[in-house]
Amino acid sequence: MIIHETGIEGVSLIEPKVFGDHRGFFVETFQKERYAEVIGSDLEFVQDNHSNSPKGVLRGLHFQTKRPQGKLVRCVQGSVFDVAIDIRQDSPTFGKWFGTELSAENKHQLWVAPGLAHGFLVLSDSADFEYKCTDYYDSSAEGCLIWNDQTVNIEWPRIDAPIQLSEKDLKGKTLEQL
């Protein structure tokens, strides 16, 4: 696999090795010893999540204040624009974001360390998105950075569909409010 650093500590773009022929493809999406180089050896995955969303759905930008989750994410059907934002106040890259397209075609993964905000916008007609998480979901500790915060200024791709947000995500806070 190839690991690309993103300029934000704890955020890495991963290109897994893909083996393909006339029968299809095979890709190893996680192997503890090999992925320890990216996520560290002290973190364990305890929960897997899978979401399906139509074009224009924007999920995020989520984080947990207690029991923060590290996430290894990938898109297994369709494509998304995936974003990680450094919301750690003591970080030299506080307020910076990294975004990339994850798709079934490119098979890339993004590692988002605990303590960062994360979200994605569906670019294709629909997308299936999978997360491996290092801690359990805790609704009492959930936070949301608003997707269009002017301070963070994420450059979301333009799509030919309206942006769709959940009620919870519509109430996200700005970086300053957090």
Q: What is the DSSP letter of 177?
A: T
Q: Could you tell me the pLDDT band of residue 41, with boundaries at 50, 70 and 90?
A: confident
Over the Cα atoms of the chain, what is R_g? 16
pTM over 0.85: yes
- Domain boundary assignment for the chain: 2-170
Active site residue 4: no
pLDDT at 37: 87
Q: Of the residues 35, 62, 108, 118, which is catalytic?
A: 62
- Give the CA angle between residues 72, 77, 80 to the nearest 5°: 65
**Residue 164 DSSP code:** B
Q: How many CA atoms lie less than 13 Å away from 126 in the CB half-sphere?
A: 4
Task: Please write the tens of the pLDDT for every residue from 65-81.
Answer: 999 999 999 999 999 99
Two structure tokens written together for 41: 């050896």
| Catalytic residue flag (residue 131) | yes
Where residue 10 falls among pLDDT bands split at 50, 70, 90?
Answer: very high
Kindly name the residue from 4, 50, 131, 136 that is annotated as catalytic: 131
Mean of per-residue pLDDT scores for the chain: 95
Pick one of 1.10.357.10, 3.30.390.10, 2.60.120.10, 1.10.1740.10 as the CATH number of 2-170.
2.60.120.10
